Amino acid sequence: MNSLIRKILCVVMALTLITGIFTGCHSGDTKWYLANDISLKTQYGSLPEQGTVGDLEYRICPQDAFSCYRKECGYYIDQLEQLDTPYFIVITSGSKTTEGAEISIVDLGMDGTTLQILVEEKDASLGKFVSPYSPCVVLEVNEVPAEVVIHSTTGKEFKHITFD
Structure confidence by residue, pLDDT tens digits, 48-90: 999 999 999 999 998 777 777 767 889 999 888 887 889 999 9
Single-letter residue type at 71: K
Structure confidence by residue, pLDDT tens digits, 93-143: 887 655 667 889 999 999 999 999 999 988 765 555 555 667 889 999 999
- Cα–Cα nearest to 106, from 35, 156, 47, 62: 47
> Residue 162's pLDDT is what?
82
- Cα–Cα nearest to 143, from 115, 119, 107, 118: 115
Single-letter residue type at 112: G
The Cα 50–Cα 103 span in angstroms is: 18
pLDDT of residue 150 exceeding 80, the answer is yes
The Cα 100–Cα 102 span in angstroms is: 6
pTM of the full structure = 0.74
Mean pLDDT of the chain: 80
Inter-residue contact 91 to 117 (CB < 8 Å): yes
1 or 157, higher pLDDT: 157
Angle, CA of 46, 157 and 74, to the nearest 5°: 95
- Cα–Cα nearest to 39, from 118, 144, 137: 118
Domain extent listing, the chain: 30-158
